[in-house]
Amino acid sequence: MLEEVRFTWDGTRIAEQTALDGRTTTWEYMPGTHRPLTQTSRYTPGEGEPGEGEPGKGAIPRAAKLSKTEVDAQFHAIITDLVGTPTELVTPAGNLAWQHRTNLWGSPLPAPADGVDCPLRFPGQYTDRETSLNYNYFRYYDPETARYISPDPLGLAAGPDHHRYIDNPLRQIDPLGLYSCDKPGLDDASEEYIRGKHMPGGASATSDKSIFRSDEDLDDLVETAGKVEPRGPNENGFYERDVDAKRDIGNLSPDVGGLPTTWYRVVQDKWGGVITMHPISKPAS
């Protein structure tokens, strides 16, 4: 056997892959979702370097002797697009280690093949290097044809086309390979709530509320926030993303002076649904 990779699953999500040579990659996800947050790689060979173990106890595995610098070099934060597809890996120092670009349906665009890699694709998918197919929990997806290679296990219950993926990969996901669902994000109820409290003329836009500019596109702000690693959960079980838009997006509340700001905060539930969002002052570093 030339190569074997074993997988560990967390429900319907791939949590870890391990090769026979001891190379292991682990992924952490936003709770309750298929949106990955971090990727950690490590090397734990079956035998350590000869002559360094205690008598009668064998060699010391190399992984036990990794320096903090080596460990940090193998940890990466995952930047995703709006629906949760990985697009970049970033080191603890903030350096870009990997970047992945595709067409609308996930077919990869030309890119350097060296260095660190992330095999995760559309939410719930893992790419098979040998076949160039993406594995969902229930079947394989072909990004070249934008179709599954096998019929839907649900039959006609999921739709008349048994091999269909989804209508719009910018707004929908199919993490299991069964049926499409709208991406978490800004729904009508959330938008109405935000416009009522944090937009000019809102019914609940009181003097203690920060206000977005009237021409701000809230969906665009949410999409930009998806590239920022969230903090949390907070005491309410929600996650927060603080974003610098690098342009004035609104004003702080009149009660604190009403100064313009480039920063805003998006608060989301564990599935990525937006609870609220509002301008904030620059966070303390």
Domain ranges of the chain: 5-181, 188-280
Q: Where are the alpha helices (DSSP H) in 50-184?
A: 68-73
Q: Which residue has the higher pLDDT, 63 or 208?
A: 208
How is the chain split among helix, strand and coil, in percent rounded to 5? Answer: 15, 30, 55
Per-residue pLDDT at 283 exceeds 80: yes
Is pLDDT at 259 greater than 50 in this prediction? yes
pLDDT higher at 280 or 273: 280
Return the amino acid letter for 75: F
- 188 or 5, higher pLDDT: 5
Banded model confidence at residue 2, pLDDT cuts 50, 70, 90: low
Q: How far apart are CA 152 and CA 276, in angstroms?
A: 36
| 267 contacts 274 by C-beta, under 8 angstroms | yes
The residue-averaged pLDDT of 72-95 equals 89
Instruction: Please say if the pLDDT value at position 60 is more than 90.
Output: no
* CB-CB contact of 213 with 250 (8 Å): yes
Q: What angle do CA 88, 90, 91 make, to 5 degrees?
A: 155
Q: Tell me what the pLDDT averaged over the chain comes to.
A: 85
Residue 57: what pLDDT? 40
Task: Say which residue, 27 or 66, is predicted with more confidence.
Answer: 27
**Predicted local distance difference test score (pLDDT) of residue 168:** 84
What is the band of 68 on the pLDDT scale with cuts at 50, 70, 90? low
What is the reported pLDDT for 198?
Answer: 97
CA atoms within 13 A on the CB side of 255: 6
Give yes or no for residue 146 having a pLDDT over 50: yes
pLDDT of residue 127: 96
pLDDT at 197: 96
pLDDT over threshold 70, residue 201 = yes
